Amino acid sequence: MPSFLNGVVAGHAGIVPVALAAVVAVTVAYTPVASQLWRARWNQPVGKGA
């Protein structure tokens, strides 16, 4: 039983950094796209609407 728990703990210990790395990678990759879309959406009504 302890060996099984150790395996679960080791599995989570290996999964957590991978999950964090994935979240960071998605955030870093998505931020420039969101920034461009936000700027385009923010500037378009001001430039063409006015």
Residue 27 lies in a domain: yes
pLDDT band at 23 (very low <50, low <70, confident <90, very high): very high
Residue 15 lies in a domain: no
Residue 10 lies in a domain: no
Buried b (16+ CB within 10 A) or exposed e, 16-35: eeeeeeeeeeeeeeeeeeee
Residue 7 lies in a domain: no
Domain count, the chain: 1
Q: Is the pLDDT of residue 46 over 70?
A: no
* Range of the structural domain that residue 49 is part of: 23-50
For the chain, give the percent of residues with pLDDT over 90.
Answer: 14
Least confident of 25-29, 35-39, 42-46: 42-46
Cα–Cα distance, 48 to 37 (Å, whole number): 16
Q: Which amino acid is at 16?
A: V
Residue 32 lies in a domain: yes
Cα–Cα distance, 16 to 33 (Å, whole number): 26
Residue 33 lies in a domain: yes
Which one is predicted more confidently, 45 or 19? 19
1 SS3 class: coil
